[in-house]
Structure formats: structure tokens, C-alpha cells
Amino acid sequence: MDPTKKEEIDVFEDDNEQDDYEKENYSRSNKDALTNNSAVKAAIFVFGLMICIIIIYVIISGSGSDSGAYNSSLPLSSAVKGTAKSGTNTATGINTSTSNVATETPVTTAAISLKAGSNDPMVQQLQQLLKDKGYLAQSVALANNFGSQTEAAVKAFQKEYNMPQTGVVDNNLYNMIQNAPDTRLQLKLGVTDPKVKDLQQLLKDKGYLDKSVALADNFGAKTQAAVIAFQKAKGYTQDGIVTNFIMQQLQAEPNKP
């Protein structure tokens, strides 16, 4: 017999006390076993739950990266580019390459449809843009009405960039005008500029300047009078100032013998 067991039995005064002790010891052992078993089950449940969460996360992440619906790294303005022509306008000396048109100016996203006869506060914004870019005379008063001068300025811009000359402004065209370089041309009395010779030759070809006038870099009184005569014939403001718009209209005018 195990000596330790003997010593343990000897401490009990009778058999009943020993039976109670053994029952209590058995109950305690069962409780410990149940506690240990519950802990193991809880650990297994938590581990399984973590595995499920990881699998769901991987599935969601994978589907999002494969969609490819929108590339946020591209600037919005890169989607708005006109079909601009390359090279330099010989009459105005304006560089009209495509790279000058597309810039990082925020594009206008509101729906735009402006044309002759439109009455809209946004027409004033369009007119100011056309002035800033040199296609509408500075003397033209801003108004909500889309008139003939605004239409002619829009067509001049469209012609400059080899677009159909519809005179209609949609979102794409508005953003092109907004992002176009400021190529404001202003030839007037007293100005000395090589472009004055180009202007004088145009005025001669169109029948507004006497062919006997010698070409010169100086914008004199005869050149001014010829410009005013052209502006009067076309119904434009008679200020004698040549902007991009006036130059474009002169170029479009048929030659006279």
C-alpha cells in the first residue's frame, strides 16, 4: 500500500468522513476538467472566428483592387482636351500647339449649352473668358445675352483650334477656352510691332487700306482708319483696336482685287 495513501487515510476518524472527502475531491476534479474543457472550446471558437474575418477581408480587398473602374491618380483636367492644331498662326504669331491648351485649371462640371439667343448669367463668364483670351473686344459690355459678337468670338476660337465653327459652347469647349493661353493681341494707334505689317497687308487684301501705303511696323493714322472702316462694315465697336478676334475676322474676309 502507498505510504502517502496510508497517511492520508489515517487522518480520518471514521469511514464516513473518508467517503465525504473522496466525494468532494471527485467533484472538484470534475469541475476542473469542465473548466479546462470550456477554455479549450472558447480558444478554438475565437481562433476560427479570426480565420473567418481574415478570409472575408482578403475577398473584399481582392474584389476592390480588381475592379479598375476609376483611376484616381489621373487629374480630372487631363480628360478635357480639344483637337487643337499645332504650329504658329502666321498672321498673329500665336503659338497654337495642343500642349498650350490642356492645363491643370479645374474643369467646369455643370451642364453647359450656350449659343446665339441664349439668355443666361453664365454668358457673362464666357464673354469675360473670351476677352481674357483675346477673342472678344474689351469694349464689348458683359451681358446675359449671347449675341452675334459673342458667337463670332466663339467661332474664332473654334477656327483657331481646327474645330467645327458651330458657335455653340458646351462643357468641353468652355473648358478649352478656360484653359487656353492668354494670347491677347492688341494693335492700336502708336504701337510699333512687326505684326502691324501683317495687319496692313490683310487690310490691303480685303480692300480697306490703299495698296499704295507702304508696309511698316508702325500703326499709324491710315492703318487705324482702315481698321475702323472694317469694324463699321461688320457692325463691331469702332475703336480702331485690333485684337485676336478682329484679326481672325479680317482673315476670314474674302480678298478684293
Return the amino acid letter for 85. K
**Per-residue confidence band for 119, with pLDDT thresholds at 50, 70 and 90:** very high
Q: Residue 213 pLDDT more than 60?
A: yes
Q: CA of 234: how far to CAs of 77, 86, 250, in Å? A: 37, 30, 10
Return the amino acid letter for 210. D
> Mean pLDDT across the chain, nearest whole number?
76
Percent of the chain with pLDDT over 90: 41
Per residue in 214-240, pLDDT tens? 999 999 999 999 999 999 999 888 999
Judge whether 176 and 161 are in contact, CB under 8 Å: yes
What's the rounded mean pLDDT across residues 200-216? Answer: 96
pLDDT value for 107? 53
What's the rounded mean pLDDT across residues 111-116? Answer: 92
Structure-block grid coordinates of residue 43: 480558444
pLDDT value for 68? 40
Q: List beta partners, residue 119.
A: 145
pLDDT value for 154? 95
